[in-house]
Amino acid sequence: MSSERPEELSTPGSKPAQATAGDTGRSGDAPRQEAIVVVRGEAVREQDPKSPPKDAAPQNKDKAPPKKVSEAKVKLQNRLPALDDDADIGVQKEHSVTRDGKPDLAFTGTLLASAAPSSAPQGRWQEYRIYETSGGKHVFSKIGRSITAEQQDTHEAEIFDPSPTTVQSKLLRSAHDLTHSRPMTWTDAAVAFFGYDPLAKALYRKVSGGFEEHIS
């Protein structure tokens, strides 16, 4: 009598043997099943939905490179609130004031006062200046600076003429005088240009006491 164990054959109607917990690799886990899709007669295994496709783009995008700064303007920033022309205050000399989109202003006169913030942590700041020309006019200048090399500084400037000669200037002056019941002064023009932000108030304190509102 042979001692060999006869092979177990599945008979018609019998159920196939089910996989035990040990067959899945971990107890309690259901056996992994893969779906097979037939495409044009070829069997293709469906990818696991949890795994990303091979041609998927990476999630982490490269960060933008830091902006290049101007060494010259960094030096100006490090000097704040001092400005490069502080030594010119009260000295009569030739001045040139840059204006964006308009002709630059060239005149002989005196820099009456200037103001800048004590620091510029974001790398941007403004500079205010008031000049008086030898002919009795006033020039107001506002410069916006940034330490970024690719960003250009901005320059604004206006002129106050106590005796305007152009028709447009005379009409504007007359309209102001009618609404304010007094002639327009250069301090009025300065407030119209700079406003009353903290830097402008610091500028006014350096010029005169004519910018306060006196009440009784």
Asked if residue 75 belongs to a domain, the reply is yes
Residue 105 lies in a domain: yes
H or E element: which one contains 75? helix 71-79
How sure is the predictor about 169, in pLDDT bands with cuts at 50, 70 and 90?
low
Domain count, the chain: 1
pLDDT at 133: 97
Residue 216: pLDDT band with limits 50, 70, 90: confident
Other Cβ atoms less than 10 A from the Cβ of 165: the count is 7
The parent domain of residue 183 ranges over: 71-207
106 touches 126 (CB < 8 A):
no
Residue 109 reports pLDDT greater than 80: yes
Q: What pLDDT sits at residue 212? A: 82
For residue 89, is it within any domain?
Answer: yes
pLDDT at 165: 67
72 near 100, Cβ under 8 Å?
no
Question: Is the pTM here over 0.75, yes or no?
Answer: no
Give the closest residue to 127 by CA, choosing from 85, 185, 158: 85
Contacts of 157 (CB under 8 A, 6+ apart): 97, 98, 99, 102, 105, 139, 140, 141, 142
DSSP 79: H
More confident residue, 17 or 52: 52
What is residue 21's predicted lDDT score, i.e. its pLDDT?
45
Q: Is residue 5 part of a domain?
A: no
Q: Is residue 135 part of a domain?
A: yes
Q: What is the pLDDT of residue 162?
A: 87
Task: Give the model confidence (pLDDT) of 34-43 as tens digits.
Answer: 555 555 555 5
Is the pLDDT at 63 greater than 80, yes or no? no
* Domain assignment of residue 99, yes or no: yes
- Within-domain flag for 47: no
Residue 89 has pLDDT above 60, yes or no: yes
| pLDDT score, position 19 | 45
**Residue 43 placed within a domain:** no
Q: Is the pLDDT of residue 98 over 70?
A: yes
> Which of 88-97, 157-166, 178-187 has the least mean pLDDT?
178-187
pLDDT at res. 182: 72
pLDDT of residue 58: 57
Residue 70: per-residue pLDDT = 93
Q: Is the pLDDT of residue 137 over 90?
A: yes
